[in-house]
């Protein structure tokens, strides 16, 4: 055990790697984005069609504390898709101390990268404007009983 002594010397305990979180993102059960099934086309893409497909994938990622997908919850502030397939997503979280702050942006990036036509993705986490329930879609607000 750590802290014990053998022959007057401390016995090694757990290493630093056992205390630091892994950088590997494990997909939790509240993310339902399917893996990419099709290679990105080599020719030109339709950025609006790709954006629509990105939104479809974001509808499959749910906030683990609120049973609403992150798109309808209003956590996605913007999606841009360039002609070369590069996607940029601006998003926020329900609170800065959100328990999935370290993993949710990576899940969003995976969901975007899995869309055919996307050649790369950058997800930017922003805090301004601060998220509030009024940013959720009308359906999400009704489901949560907000303002009704």
Q: Give the CA count within 13 Å in the CB-facing half-sphere of 101.
A: 10
pLDDT one-digit tens code per residue, 86-119: 999 999 999 988 888 889 999 999 999 999 999 9
pLDDT average, residue stretch 66-73 = 94
DSSP class of residue 40 equals P
Q: Which pLDDT does position 33 carry in this prediction?
A: 55
If DSSP codes are grouped into helix, strand and coil, which group holds residue 121? strand
pLDDT one-digit tens code per residue, 3-51: 555 566 665 655 545 544 444 445 555 455 555 544 555 678 999 999 9
Please give the angle made by the CA atoms of 141, 142 and 143, to the nearest 5 degrees: 90
Whole-prediction pTM = 0.72
Q: Domain locations in the chain?
A: 46-148
Q: Which pLDDT does position 25 carry in this prediction?
A: 46
Name the fold adopted by 46-148: GMP Synthetase; Chain A, domain 3 (3.30.300)
Kindly report the number of other CB atoms within 10 A of residue 98's CB atom. Answer: 17
């Amino acid at each position: 055990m750590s802290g014990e002594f053998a022959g007057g010397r401390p016995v090694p305990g757990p290493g630093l790697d056992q205390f630091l979180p892994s950088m590997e993102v494990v997909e939790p059960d509240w993310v339902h984005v399917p893996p990419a099934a099709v290679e990105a086309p080599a020719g030109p893409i339709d950025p609006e069609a790709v954006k629509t497909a990105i939104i479809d994938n974001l509808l499959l990622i749910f906030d683990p504390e609120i049973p609403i997908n992150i798109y309808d919850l209003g956590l996605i502030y913007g999606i841009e898709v360039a002609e070369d397939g590069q996607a940029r997503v601006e998003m926020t979280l329900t609170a800065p101390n959100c328990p999935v702050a370290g993993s949710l942006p990576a899940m969003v990036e995976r969901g975007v990268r899995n869309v055919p036509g996307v050649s790369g993705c950058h997800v930017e986490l922003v805090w301004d404007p601060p998220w509030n329930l009024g940013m959720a879609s009308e359906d999400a607000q009704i489901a949560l009983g907000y303002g009704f």
